Amino acid sequence: MGAFNEEDRGDKSPSRAVVVHPAPRSPASASGDAARHPEARLAEAVGLAEAIDLEIAAAETVPLNKPRPATLIGLGAVERLADVINQVQAGLVVVDAHLSPVQQRNLEKAWNAKVIDRTGLILEIFGARARTREGRLQVELASLSYQRSRLVRSWTHLERQRGGFGFLGGPGETQIEADRRMIGDRIVKLKKELEEVKRTRDLHRKARRRVPYPIVALVGYTNAGKSTLFNSLTRATVLAKDQLFATLDPTMRALALPSGRTIILSDTVGFVSDLPHELVAAFRATLEEVLEADVIVHVRDIAHPDTEAQRTDVESVLRELGVGEKVDRGLIEAHNKIDLLDPERRQEVINQAARGANVLAVSAVSGEGQAELLAYLDRALAAERQIVEIELPLSDGASLAWLYRQGEVLNREDGEETVRLTVRLDAADAARFDKRGV
Ligand SMILES: Nc1nc2c(ncn2[C@@H]2O[C@H](COP(=O)(O)OP(=O)(O)OP(=O)(O)O)[C@@H](O)[C@H]2O)c(=O)[nH]1
Ligand SMILES: [Mg+2]
């Protein structure tokens, strides 16, 4: 390292972070709903930061009276936070808001630390979680566009090697022009690749459809407990076939319902509020399995102070994803974390669930309500059963066996070369059978 370098962040660790949530004085004016609690928002931002393995050294809410063009938050807050950041030796500050490139640069100077905003943070998370090829391409595209708009004085020596797309450690300033060109080229290439992936997507869809069981997707706001519930439900009902799906995709598992019917349970990426517009496509691609699901279970953190606002967020994103029809019909809701409620509120939630036709009170941690949830899924799938007539070549033993396993064979006539079956099947299974192998 040369002589004095104003970019020198000394011993600060690039993964030790301070999280700052600028809270509008009147929350109602910010997003149109007053139901969000600043402390809950701060906790959410901390949770998101932890999701990409940052070590959170401090977390603070700062009042946002009137956004300042230069730094967003007020000068007093900037100075006070500089002390905090210095004290805990944080190399990174997550500002839970949208920052303009200028604001980001000014804050980096004032704090002598790398600064990322909510979009940057969410991009890192998507980058770490995108599983499909299309998802990865969409996230890279979104993050490059974001980076290009922010190619300014940046880090020279705090590059990160792990995960994501690494814009927590940016390029040195002499490189900026070259980088800008390179990013432009890469964006053009990515768009071409995406076109191709989209063209072949239908083929993948069909392959998925050939998975011979109904797919039940757990969706919900981030931190609602989807993964915990997924693990708990699949651990409780282990299947031999489990391994196949575990290796294909760690977030899809086969499990047996009480009736013996097999389903595929799918865990998904969590929703967040204020999803930046440029990320919607990336988010959509990471959620492809939801579009493919036969049944959607909305997992809600019923102990969260913003649970209603979260519900609205999730439902509106689902509409954007094109499954509005299912939302209108009423999603199955698992009201999770009832173990955290005080006895009175808990009873209220349980009563409410008992009254609601498609609401279940559960705890992913204590196991409460899980048997009921599985039984409910059984009923929901059976309710949509229909009777279908099917003619098969006698040689198609696999299809025959599948029909006997998934359905209820009411009548069978064996001919010379074909067999005619009358079968009661789930709507989902009937559709699946139709599309099989096509
Ligand atoms: N007390 C309690 N805690 C729970 C329950 N379910 C989940 N949690 C906790 O809530 C936190 C978030 O749980 P996850 O399962 O990771 O939530 P998620 O919905 O998968 O979150 P994302 O993957 O970020 O969308 C974890 O700390 C869990 O231990 C529950 O029923 N009771
Ligand atoms: Mg999860």
pLDDT digits (tens, 9 = 90+) for 44-74: 899 888 888 899 999 999 999 889 999 999 9
Distances (CA, A) of 332 to 197, 228, 318, 428: 32, 18, 14, 16
Q: Which SS3 state, helix, strand or coil, does residue 401 take?
A: helix
The pLDDT value given to residue 154: 41
Dist CA 266 CA 297 (whole Å): 10
CB burial string 9-43: b at 16+ within 10 A, e below: beebbbbbbbbbbbbbeebeebeeeeebbbebbbb
CB distance 143 to 127 below 8 Å: yes
For 181-215, write each residue's pLDDT tens digit. Answer: 888 888 888 888 888 877 776 666 555 555 668 88
Dist CA 401 CA 405 (whole Å): 6
Higher pLDDT, 168 or 273: 273
The pLDDT value given to residue 163: 40
Give the Å distance between the CA of 334 and the centre of ligand 2.
15
Atom of ligand 1 nearest to the CA of 220: 19
* 271 confidence band (pLDDT: 50, 70, 90): confident
Atom of ligand 1 nearest to the CA of 221: 25
Distances (CA, A) of 291 to 287, 324, 325, 404: 7, 11, 12, 28
Give the Å distance between the CA of 363 and the centre of ligand 1.
10
The pLDDT value given to residue 357: 83
Q: Please name every residue paired with 411 in a beta bridge, in sequence order, or none if there are none.
A: 422
Give the Å distance between the CA of 44 and the centre of ligand 2.
13
Outline where 55-99 has alpha helix (H): 75-87
